[in-house]
Amino acid sequence: MIRRTEFYEVAVKAGFYGLERGGIFGKKDNVRKYWEDVFIKTSVRPALESLLARAEKLRIIDLGAGSGEGLGLLTHIPPARVVKAAHSFVLNHDRIEVYEGVDLSPAMVAQGAANYRSKPHARFLEADLSEGFPRPEEPPFHVYFSSYGALSHLTVGELEQLSQQIFAHAANGSIMVYDLYGRWSAEWPLYWDRSADEQLPYNMAYLFPPHKQDSATADWFDVTFWTGAELVQAIQRASLAAGTQVNVLTLKDRSLLVGRHMDTCFFKPTRFAVRNQVNHLFERDYRGETAGLQLDLSYLADGRSSGREAQRRIRSYHGSWCAVTGTLDALMQGDNARVKQWIESSPEALAEDLKMLAWLYRNADRFPVVDFWASVMGPQVACVLRNHELNLPEGLGCGHGLFCVVEIRK
């Protein structure tokens, strides 16, 4: 018989009794999981469904794959409609012929191989994308995928070269997914007047608590920031050089007001806590504070000549954001007249969402939960803010991410 404490000692060493991190901080915080991942999944879903209607199994290459997070994204896309189906997701592992994760980091390649060692169709290889497409000898892939700024590590010339080689390698109907840093983000106005032809300093110090975010000790590296027009022009040049045609299926801005560096002051004068507050809205154990959602964007109005359309887009979205927070404040204060005013003065789609939020708030007693705000109201507020971003017009490069899906035609 083992000692009474032996099992618990083993469990503690295995890490099962550490503090719960939740989704408030870190690389995979709630905004990442329930906003940005959802953005990618829903944006790529139509093209993926079209491919699956024509091919029994898909060949996928993930460019700048890291440890294989792209495979997790692509295999966890919910269907657009709630239907009775054999599978919960659009793409399942049994519909994948091969997934190749390409990354420059040997550690990432090793970690990816370890993460997916139970999936025989998943393999990882080390390669430098700045030198071009690493798998020209392979049959064409259906999906040439990238996510979360991986291709922003390339210069304009390097991305054009990679795109040209991919367009030439692809089959008719293949897609390429770009995910780049947008230059006209509210996170870094000091870069708005710069050009995509120059790479600029960037860091990931947002992964650390505010008291550990120091410019002198942060790890800096150069990346390329893009506008929507610059990306489309680069794609068109690459297509012409490859002798193919391309169809831009999707061009969207992601994380206009919740990008990682909204909560830092490395690239702008003001540190907000807006991503932190949206993380709290999504977290079922916390009550998000509406005061933390208030944003003063006056620092963007400095008379710069570039990015004027982007600034209008940001302010328009911020107006919808303020309508949501204003309605919440009015509901909490019991000011029904002001709730009515917010609804009646908002565009139809936003007005419908405000009506839904008002109904939820006024019917809190109907929900069998311990904390209505944390369990129901907060997550729905976050989803409304997210969905209005998803429905914005064609991307300009005014979000943290600039997301583009291209279909190759031959």
Judge if 403 and 331 occupy the same domain. no
Q: Are 94 and 133 found together in one domain?
A: yes
| Beta bridge mates, 223 | 200
Identify whether residues 254 and 138 lie together within a single domain.
yes
The verdict on 153 and 125 lying in the same domain is: yes
pLDDT at 145: 99
Could you tell me if residue 339 is inside a domain?
yes
- Spatial contact of 182 and 404, defined as CB atoms under 8 Å apart: no
Do 261 and 287 lie in one domain? The reply is: no
Q: Are 258 and 314 in contact (CB under 8 A)?
A: no
What number of CA atoms fall less than 13 Å from residue 47's CA on the CB side?
25
- Residue 152 per-residue DSSP state: G
User: How far is residue 381's CA from residue 376's CA, in Å, rounded to a whole number?
Assistant: 9
Residues 193 and 311 in one domain: no
In 3D space, the residue among 289, 339, 338, 319 whose CA is nearest the CA of residue 385 turns out to be: 319
From CA 99, how far away is CA 381, in angstroms rounded?
36
Task: Select the more confidently predicted residue: 26 or 72.
Answer: 72
pLDDT the model gives residue 317: 98
Same domain, 93 and 107: yes
* Segment 191-238, tens digit of pLDDT: 999 988 999 999 999 988 888 888 888 899 999 999 999 999 999 999
The pLDDT of residue 188 is above 60? yes
Between CA 166 and CA 135 the distance in angstroms is 9
Cβ neighbors of 303 (< 8 A, separation 6 or more) are none
- Lowest mean pLDDT, pick from 268-277, 353-362, 396-405: 268-277
pLDDT at 141: 99
- Answer whether residue 128 is part of any domain: yes
Residue 20 in domain: no
Read off the tokens for 272: 């907000």
Q: Is 56 helix (H, G, I), strand (E, B) or coil?
A: coil
Tell me the residue length of the chain.
410
Secondary structure of 85-136 as H, E, C letters: CCCCCCCCHHHEEEEEEEECCHHHHHHHHHHCCCCCCEEEEECCHHHCCCCC
pLDDT value at 7 more than 50: no
Does residue 3 lie in a domain region? no
The chain-wide mean pLDDT, for the chain, equals 92
Q: How confident is the model at residue 1 (pLDDT cuts 50, 70, 90)?
A: very low
Q: Which helix (H) or strand (E) holds 280?
A: helix 274-282
Are residues 120 and 175 both part of a single domain?
yes
* Residue given tokens 């999936």 in the structure block: 119
pLDDT in tens, 25-63: 888 999 999 999 999 999 999 999 999 999 999 999 999
Rounded CA-CA distance 108/64 in Å is: 10
Please say whether the beta carbons of 43 and 77 come within 8 A: no
321: tokens are 């954001």
Residues 398 and 386 in one domain: no
Please say whether the dihedral angle defined by the alpha carbons of residues 368, 374, 378 and 380, taken in this order, is positive or negative.
negative
Specify the pairing of strand 143-145 against strand 175-182: parallel
Q: How far apart are CA 199 and CA 225, in angstroms?
A: 7
**Domain harbouring 175, CATH code:** 3.40.50.150
pLDDT of residue 8: 45
| Backbone phi, psi, residue 173, to 5° | 95, -5
* Domain hosting residue 59, numbered range: 25-265+394-409
Local confidence band at 167 (pLDDT 50, 70, 90 cut-offs):
very high
Give the tens place of pLDDT for each residue, 83-120.
666 568 999 999 999 999 999 999 999 999 999 999 99
Q: Which two tokens stand for residue 138?
A: 């392979």
Domain count, the chain: 2
| 365 pLDDT higher than 60 | yes
Q: Tell me: do 188 and 320 sit in the same domain.
A: no
For the chain, give the percent of residues with pLDDT over 70.
92
Does 16 fall in a domain?
A: no
- Calculate the CA dihedral of residues 408, 73, 260, 213 and round it to 10 degrees: -120
